[in-house]
Amino acid sequence: MKKISIILLLFSLSTLLIAQQRGFKGLNIQINGKTTTLYTQSHALIIGVSNYTNGWSDLPGVSRDIQSVKQTLEKHDFNVTVVENPDSKGLKKAFDSFISKYSRDFNSRLLIFFSGHGYTMKQQWGGEMGYIIPSDAPNPHSDPEGFKDKAINMEMMEVYAKRMDSKHALFMFDCCFSGSIFSLSKAAPAIINYKTSKPVRQFITAGGADEEVPDESIFCRQFTVGLDGEADVNRDGYISGSELGEYLQTSVVNYSYEAQHPQYGKIRNPKLDKGDFVFVLNTNNNVPAKTSPVISIKEEIKAATGSVKIIAGFAGKLSWEHGFLKDVKANSIITLDDVPVGKHVFNLLGKPGEMQEISKQISTVYENQITEVFMRIPKKPESKKKTNTTASISKKQYNNMVYIKGGTFEMGNNNGKPSEKPAHKVTLNGFYIDIYETTIANFKRFVNATGYKTDVENRGYTRIRRSGKVGKKVNGVSWRSNVKGKDRPLTESNHPAVFLSKKDAEEYCKWRGGRLPTEAEWEYAARGGSTSSPTKYAGSNNINEVGWYSENSGKTTHAVGQKKPNELGVYDMSGNVWEFCSDLYDCENNYYDNSPVNNPTGPSRANHKVARGGSWYYNSNFARITDRSGWQLFGNSDTGVRCVREK
């Protein structure tokens, strides 16, 4: 027993010694060909608020997020201090203690990471002020003065930033608010040079003042992935604060379906905006960055579909711009199926000493010889006749839209309902279409920019069922509401916006610089552009692979993009919510008999509006590609919008 106690004591002392050493190692970088000691110390303060006590919703995901951030920063040799669920006094004490203890050394780098609620309050004189929220702050709508007494505003962050004697400081906020104290950055980050070592105070927020951050933080996830190497945009072995901001802005916008737009920049102070915070890859062995090689191969996929076989010549991390990222072993083979048409860049980041020669193809990268073998194996091309008349994905994308080349297809279904008959040839011009249904977050930006009020907000909501039965009128329902007419939680900002009329949908698309799709364009996109026998649903004959409908939805909407997309990379065209088309709906079921061949736009007169795709509320029969339905003026809890834009 005595021996065990001694062993445990020695283990505890060794663990404590390692913890004390972390953060106090010198960090060397290459500047203009010379090795320079940029930092002598590295310290981080991580604050997470998951349990709120005075009116704010709890954020259980924060606790997991801050542990992930802690582990990532410790890999980069930071001494990390974690503070969880502080009240107002505890939050201010955390900042004061950290700055007092660690900011005295000029050659140190300090990182402060806050995860919790953020809020932007409009000032009576017309300005805005961003706040981070401690656990005991009251709701600003019910107690604005109490809120301002307890929350910490961004002006105080500027005070903290200026109080630091450290050369470099980076403030990161996994919440959304106005970033008025720093100058927003748009330019690409510069290479590491002598200016890097000058003093700087940098800020990165997860989103703007009018946006919401889900509890499952995309910002946190991309931060940890970015510091593992993906944020090294120019592949020089360093990740600067500017590079990190640019990477987070791009990747979070993408993975949040444009619900979040991170902001980044430097403090508005001429003496504190010249330098750049720096992370060095492979910091544990303190190797100069240029000995950490990167292979970058650009492959052009010309077939409509194909697979790419990648043979990794050495161990490392393999990334692809479409989100593929994984650890690979030397000599391992990775195959990606169904790679879309276009030029694709694959990057392999590895460590010295793990390289193995596997063929005679050898390239020189930096000072090392690295083997690279990248082979593309396309599938057999379609016949020439079929290829010429098949819509395909263009390399071009616009505002989360994909371009569909024009072509001729057979619209309708001779085996379907009377309204789907007869099947007939239609020829369309090319157009862009939204990859995703319009989310609550996207519609919120439209409302914030224009002050628009939807029909349901102006007149109340009355559900009109297909039977014609009219329900009870309910006030207070809006595009912010869930299917039961109640305000949605923050975690559902990437669900489709519903309770929209056709007029609301038209105004939103017009603000986007587009319009509603015609019924023919909608069906052509849902088919994936195929001129042969289409799948029953958009992308599959199995509705459960591609859509949410009455039997699998749990009687509610779901976040966009969760199911399999169709051949064109477009999601949720079967199920989730009905989507308005620009056409009127001919209830006499004879429009298809006389429909124009070229770019039809529907009948000139009718009582209903066309909606396509089915929804969470209806059975799978309504989610078929060719099903046609007509709606009256007002939207329901299962009616949304998808826009198109002409080339």
The model's pLDDT over 586-639, given as tens digits with 9 standing for 90+, comes to 766 678 888 899 999 888 777 778 899 999 999 999 999 999 988 665 678 899
Q: What is the pLDDT of residue 374?
A: 38
Distance CA(213)–CA(174), nearest Å, equals 8
- pLDDT tens digits for range 118-167: 888 877 766 788 899 999 999 888 888 999 999 999 889 999 999 999 99
- Number of Cα atoms under 13 Å in the Cβ half of residue 156: 13
Tokens 């989100």: give the residue: 323
- Look over the chain and give the mean of its residue pLDDT values, rounded to a whole number: 77
Edge-first strand order for the sheet with 152-153 is: 118-122, 128-132, 152-153
Q: What share of the chain has pLDDT > 90, as a percent? A: 37
The more confident residue out of 208 and 113 is: 113
Give yes or no on whether 2-280 and 438-646 have one common fold: no
The answer to whether 90 and 137 are in contact (CB under 8 A) is no
Q: What share of the chain has pLDDT > 70, as a percent? A: 68
Range 340-343, long-range pairs (CB < 8 A, 24+ positions): 340/301, 340/305, 340/393, 340/569, 341/301, 341/302, 341/303, 341/304, 341/392, 341/393, 341/395, 342/300, 342/301, 342/393, 342/395, 343/298, 343/299, 343/300, 343/301, 343/395
Highest mean pLDDT (candidates 57-61, 299-303, 410-414, 627-631): 410-414
SS3 409: strand
Apex 102 CA angle, 96 and 104, nearest 5: 100
Apex 500 CA angle, 619 and 628, nearest 5: 40
The answer on pLDDT for 401 being more than 80 is: yes
CA-closest candidate to residue 294, choices 229, 349, 226: 349
Distance CA(636)–CA(331), nearest Å, equals 55
β pairing state of 424-428 and 407-411 = antiparallel
Give me the residues paired with residue 67 across strands: none
Per-residue tokens: 545: 């692979």
Distance CA(108)–CA(505), nearest Å, equals 53
Q: What is the pLDDT of residue 139?
A: 85
SS3 491: helix
The more confident residue out of 16 and 429 is: 429
The answer to whether 22 and 78 are in contact (CB under 8 A) is yes
Task: Find all residues with CB under 8 Å of 419, minimum gap 6, and list them.
Answer: 586, 589, 592, 628
Task: Confirm or reject CATH 1.20.910.10 for domain 438-646, answering yes or no.
Answer: no
First to last CA, the chain: 79
CATH code for the domain defined by 2-280? 3.40.50.1460
SS3 563: coil
SS3 33: coil
Count of helices and strands (H, E) across the chain: 13, 33
Q: Show the DSSP H helices in 166-319 as ranges.
A: 218-225, 241-255
The answer on pLDDT for 178 being more than 80 is: no
Instruction: Give me the mean pLDDT over the 40-53 stretch.
Output: 94
Distance CA(387)–CA(341), nearest Å, equals 13
Task: Find all residues with CB under 8 Å of 295, minimum gap 6, and list them.
Answer: 313, 347, 348, 350, 363, 365, 370, 372
Residue type, 48: G
Per-residue tokens: 130: 């961003």
Whole-prediction pTM value? 0.51
Q: What is the pLDDT of residue 203?
A: 93
Per-residue pLDDT band for 347 (boundaries 50, 70, 90) equals low
The answer on pLDDT for 269 being more than 80 is: yes
Q: Show the DSSP H helices in 393-464 as ranges.
A: 440-450, 455-459
Q: How far is CA 325 from the centre of its chain?
A: 16
The more confident residue out of 168 and 368 is: 168
Highest mean pLDDT (candidates 124-138, 301-315, 372-386): 124-138
Lowest model confidence (mean pLDDT) among 98-107, 249-258, 386-395, 582-591: 386-395
Lowest model confidence (mean pLDDT) among 255-264, 285-294, 494-503: 285-294
CA-closest candidate to residue 592, choices 522, 517, 515, 519: 519
How many angstroms separate the Cα of 214 from the Cα of each of 172, 271, 424?
16, 36, 45
CA-closest candidate to residue 434, choices 372, 513, 320: 513
Burial label, 18 (beta-carbon count in 10 A; 0-12, 13-18, 19+)? exposed
The torsion defined by the Cα of 521, 524, 526 and 532, in degrees rounded to 10, comes to 170
Q: What is the pLDDT of residue 536?
A: 93
The answer to whether 335 and 375 are in contact (CB under 8 A) is no
Output the DSSP codes for 297-348: EEEEE-SSSEEEEEE-SEEEEEEETTS-EEEE-TT-EEEE-SPPSEEEEEEE
Distance CA(426)–CA(324), nearest Å, equals 38
The answer to whether 48 and 84 are in contact (CB under 8 A) is yes
Instruction: Give me the mean pLDDT over the 438-456 stretch.
Output: 90
Give me the residues paired with residue 639 across strands: 578
* For the chain, domain boundaries: 2-280, 293-378, 438-646
Distance CA(543)–CA(562), nearest Å, equals 13
β pairing state of 342-355 and 294-301 = antiparallel
CA-closest candidate to residue 404, choices 256, 560, 518: 518
Distance CA(347)–CA(133), nearest Å, equals 40
Q: What is the pLDDT of residue 534?
A: 74
Tokens 């026998």: give the residue: 533
Per-residue tokens: 345: 């860049």
Per-residue pLDDT band for 348 (boundaries 50, 70, 90) equals low
Per-residue pLDDT band for 281 (boundaries 50, 70, 90) equals confident
Per-residue tokens: 326: 């994984």
How many angstroms separate the Cα of 480 from the Cα of each of 92, 345, 457?
34, 39, 10
